[in-house]
Structure 1
Amino acid sequence: MTKIKAVFNWSGGKDSAHALWRALQSGRYEIVALLTTADRDTGRSTMHAIPEELLHAQAERIGIPLHIVRIPAEWGSDAYASAMRAAVEHFRAQGVTHFIFGDIHLHDVRRYREAQLAPYGLAVVEPLWDETSEQIIEGFLASGLRTVVVTTMADRLGAEAIGRELDAAFVASLPAGTDPNGENGEYHTFCYDGPIFRSPVPFRLGPPQRRSHDIRHDDGTVHTYTYWFAELEAAE
């Protein structure tokens, strides 16, 4: 059977790793690259602030080349769209027909992805799509993938969650009303080991730090988000 040539959109966290594992398990895809976006100035991924050195370490142990799209620090939707358009054209020229993502049930996000890729004749694949958060976290725990919590929303989880392994005990300890898969942004992770890796990715995690940032919405309102995070660094 001829495999479908695809690009996997890689964040470095649990859902991304879980979706990649499922895509590889299916045997349907020839994944030619892991595609990620990074801040051009800081050299860290725009999603989870993972240093490029660790992104490369993940990709090397997975055995799939990493393709980084670098975005300006003060990037907006136009800058992002322009950078991604160049990446899409690059991979389409190589015969790629599908882009794979680790989304779950954010329908507006999927519609956006499909609208952006359809003009290029590229299809969107979502291996985790439309399952419940409970089903997905159970599947993740059963997969053998290993991740560590690197960011939490301060109004949901405290600093003590930083550095914890995402396992059954962590899920059971989540406060009532918390999405077990962190779908509301309650926590984010870094994946460092498991069946998609040839060996564990060595890393260090700094002490928890508390920060806040403002998000301006389309209606002009501003919401302040406060979160705990720890700096990720490569380790030997």
Structure 2
Amino acid sequence: MAAMTQKILLAWSGGKDAAWTLHVLRQRADVEVVGLLTTVTADYDRIAMHGIRRDVLHAQAAATGLPLLESVIPSRCDNDTYEHAFAATLAEARTRWPSLDTIAFGDLLLADVRAWREALCDRYGWKILTPLFGMDTTALADEMVAAGLEAQLCCVDTQQLDGGFSGGTFDRSLLDALPEGCDPCGENGEFHTLLTRGPMLDRPLQVVRGETVLRDGRFAFTDFLLAGAPHTAG
């Protein structure tokens, strides 16, 4: 008798690590990713941390072929508010898929972040899965690029990396240009990315680069808009 396939929810940031996690999980016969969960900041209509527009997020989800659940938070969100919204979205997921009890994250190296996620999810009866954790990030970045993954740098921490990298394409040239000490996957928060193409999408996203702005005196955010879609500033 064949073993049952475990259903998995995936925390989706819109970036390359979450995308590669989806790709890796889809190679396994014992699990099935059934949906994506993304934290969205209501005030900005964007993915929290990455600053990716909501319509771009929806285009990504459509290209994965997976339903999207949004955990909506206000800007300047405290931990209690974040946790309440996250827990409510987990409960929504379990209503849709009653047997669901595991959520995957694209964590790579930061054990403290992974432990925090594990404790948070455990409080609500969930387990976590981190299939990329502990991988060599130089080899991982090379593997992503070789497999045809394309992403744009949508946020750069200018205290760790020159702001001029914001808006650039995550490719071989960028990896070669990163300064010594910068993690090639941005795992220390040096940069965040917007996935636009890869083996986990059934079609590429067509985006147009917008303006780059400095926020909080530190983070260089580059806006990316869906090609051909009307947009307002923000």
- Superposition TM-score, scaled by structure 2 size: 0.89
The Cα of 1:143 is off from its aligned counterpart by 2.6
Structure 1 residue ranges without an equivalent (≥5): 214-225
SS at match of 1:206: strand
1:234 aligns with 2:226: yes
Q: Which amino acid aligns with 2:169?
A: E
Judge conservation of contact 1:208–1:229 (CA < 8 Å) in 2: yes
Q: Measure the CA separation in 2 of the matches of 1:165 and 1:40.
A: 27
Judge conservation of contact 1:159–1:208 (CA < 8 Å) in 2: no
Which stretch shows the higher mean deviation, 83-92 or 113-122?
113-122
Pairwise CA RMSD: 1.7
Q: Residue in 1 aligned with 2:198?
A: 194
Q: Which amino acid aligns with 1:150?
A: C
Q: Which amino acid aligns with 1:62?
A: T
The Cα of 1:88 is off from its aligned counterpart by 1.6
Q: Residue in 2 aligned with 1:107?
A: 111
- Shift of the 111–157 alpha-carbon distance from structure 1 to 2, 3 Å rule, reads closer
The Cα of 1:228 is off from its aligned counterpart by 2.0
- Shift of the 78–121 alpha-carbon distance from structure 1 to 2, 3 Å rule, reads closer
Q: Measure the CA separation in 1 of the matches of 2:147 and 2:171.
A: 11
The count of aligned residue pairs is 224
Q: Residue in 1 aligned with 2:76?
A: 74
Structure 2 residue ranges without an equivalent (≥5): 229-234
- Residues 191-216 of structure 1, C-alpha deviations (whole Å, 9 max, x = no match): 01111111111212213323334xxx
1:51 aligns with 2:43: no
- Residues 23-74 of structure 1, C-alpha deviations (whole Å, 9 max, x = no match): 1122332222110011112110112011110110000011001111110223
Q: Measure the CA separation in 1 of the matches of 2:69 and 2:21.
A: 18
Q: Residue in 1 aligned with 2:7?
A: 5
Q: Measure the CA separation in 1 of the matches of 2:48 and 2:189.
A: 15
% identical aligned pairs: 33
1:205 aligns with 2:209: yes
Judge conservation of contact 1:158–1:228 (CA < 8 Å) in 2: no
